[in-house]
Amino acid sequence: MTRRAVLSIDQGTTNSKAILVGEDGAIVARGSAPVPISHPRSGWVEQDANAIWRSVEQAIGACLAEIDDTEVAAIGISNQRESVLAWNRRTGEPLVPVITWQCRRTADACEKLREAGHEERVIALTGLPLDPLFPAPKLRWLLDSLAGQIDPADICLGTVDSWLISRFTGGAVHACDRSNAARTQLFDLAEARWSEELCGLFGVRQACLPQVRDSSHVFGQTVGMGPLPGGIPVASAIGDSHAALFGHGAFSPGDGKATFGTGSSIMTTLPAFVAPPRGLTTTIAWSIDGASTFAFEGNILTSASVLPWTSELLGLNGVDELLALAESVASSEGVCVVPAFVGLGAPHWDAEARALISGLGFGSKPAHVARAAAESIALQVHDVFAIVKEAGDGRVGRLFVDGGPSRNPFLMGLVSGLLEQPLITCESTEASALGAAYLAGLSTGVWSGVEAILDQAGERRPLSARMDPQMRAEMLAEWEMALRRAMLPKQTAKG
């Protein structure tokens, strides 16, 4: 008997995943493929748009090869955010490499806009500060790089979701969802539309931008490609962090999640649009039936990616060995790792900060450095949540965690202890893909509503860890000192 399932794509920074989600919410098949990253200059981070698409095709092929007698009812897309590209409207071919969310090439442009006094207005309209993380200056950079090479009317600009939608539909659709549009710094959150004022400020042609739709929306139909037949509705698109929040069922105001990956996203839902407190952003979590759900968010630029770096630095055999070594000591003995390899994100927003290891002494061992690297992940989450709690008068709802590192009890114990907050781990490591699948199923009738999605989550036990108050206070004090040192190059340059 043929069963129906939703095919969900989770296109991430380092790999593309595909999962098939049955009508009961169970994942019945998986596939994945790596995505290469290049660093052509210091601070520049790029990807090949065609390589991203090939990885998606490979992931889909591997996923569908695992199972027979399954009808793909819809396709959902979850994507890496703030990465942007340009392609030819006529041919569909990429015109430039993808400028990824990690790329810092627009730091000077952001600083000039800040010095000109534009940041307050940008935050009021978009909920986002002026930082190289966000796409608007990158999109201007792309247009400048293409000047004189192509008719501007033939340029499509977009986030990764819009690129995938275009490829799935054979170039018939140039669209994105509200969650991705909200991260471009060109989208007026209150008006839910592209802003002429912002497009003028950043020098981006609005005609090059995609149409903006709900996150749960039938964007178009697939054309035949490899193992995937034509005529399948592409029925959702959403940024990966937003998708994880939806996949957890964090539908009550104050519910939140922390995603642990290359970077980390800490997000908590809001009852309505609220201007962000300093250090955080306000964003659209998702939109359904024309209504947006808003959220506070803190974007940490380097999170779990500090672990393989530290493992290699110490000559260890991978992250598992590193975390086991970290757990072998009771504390880092004052050693701190600040993983500001591409600057610091929320809540510090210092593009010039640089990574460092501080507090070393003759008694410092590799285990102390290993533990300090693990602690840096939890300490960055603490910094964001301290502001979230303050903005919410100390009230926070349920806190879900996801991503590969969320499966490590030692690491999550550090997070829970520092936050003084229980964590709810996701049984599946595919929270983002599940969120995109649920949204696609909602728009095509696979699921009747959010209540049906909540029923599938089942009972989940919280993880709670207590940290000695004195140890917690010492960790935070040492971390504050290390942060000031990491930000010293910028302070010194200013005199």
Residue 452 confidence class, pLDDT cut points 50, 70, 90:
confident
- In the prediction, which pLDDT does 164 show? 97
- Please give the mean pLDDT across all residues of the chain: 91
Residue 27 has pLDDT above 80, yes or no: yes
- In the prediction, which pLDDT does 495 show? 42
Beta carbons of 64 and 228 less than 8 angstroms apart: yes
Residue 185 confidence class, pLDDT cut points 50, 70, 90:
very high
Structure tokens at 450: 């959010």
Structure tokens at 353: 């900060």
Residue 460 confidence class, pLDDT cut points 50, 70, 90:
low
- In the prediction, which pLDDT does 404 show? 82
494 class by beta-carbon count within 10 Å (0-12 exposed, 13-18 middle, 19+ buried): exposed
Residue 376 confidence class, pLDDT cut points 50, 70, 90:
very high
- In the prediction, which pLDDT does 17 show? 95
Cα–Cα distance measured from residue 456 to residue 463, given in angstroms and rounded to the nearest whole number? 20
Cα–Cα distance measured from residue 385 to residue 375, given in angstroms and rounded to the nearest whole number? 15
Tell me the mean pLDDT in the region 152-156: 95
Tell me the mean pLDDT in the region 245-262: 87
| Higher per-residue pLDDT: 474 or 259 | 474
Residue 125 confidence class, pLDDT cut points 50, 70, 90:
very high
End-to-end CA distance of the chain: 73
Domain contains 17? yes
Residue 252 confidence class, pLDDT cut points 50, 70, 90:
confident
Residue 392 has pLDDT above 90, yes or no: no
- In the prediction, which pLDDT does 25 show? 84
Domain contains 173? yes
Domain of 30, CATH number, reads 3.30.420.40
Look at the block and give the residue holding tokens 């501007």: 152
Closest CA to 373 of 439, 324, 416: 324
Domain contains 26? yes
Strand-pairing partners, residue 32, are 17
Residue 453 has pLDDT above 80, yes or no: no
Structure tokens at 151: 């008719």
Residue 265 confidence class, pLDDT cut points 50, 70, 90:
confident
- In the prediction, which pLDDT does 494 show? 46
Please write the tens of the pLDDT for every residue from 66-83.
Answer: 888 888 999 999 999 999
Please write the tens of the pLDDT for every residue from 329-374.
Answer: 999 999 999 999 989 988 998 888 999 999 999 999 999 999 999 9
Which pTM does this prediction carry? 0.84
Domain contains 284? no
Residue 470 has pLDDT above 80, yes or no: yes
Tell me the mean pLDDT in the region 277-304: 91
Domain contains 80? yes
Domain span holding position 71: 3-248
The total domain count for the chain is 1
Domain contains 107? yes
Structure tokens at 351: 């593009």
Please write the tens of the pLDDT for every residue from 401-445.
Answer: 988 888 899 999 999 999 998 998 876 678 889 999 999 999 998
Does an H or E element contain 309, and which? helix 306-313
- In the prediction, which pLDDT does 116 show? 96
- In the prediction, which pLDDT does 457 show? 59
Structure tokens at 86: 């340009």
Domain contains 453? no
C-alpha pair distances (Å), 376 with each of 32, 303, 315, 343, 349: 29, 8, 19, 14, 16
Domain contains 401? no
Residue 491 has pLDDT above 80, yes or no: no
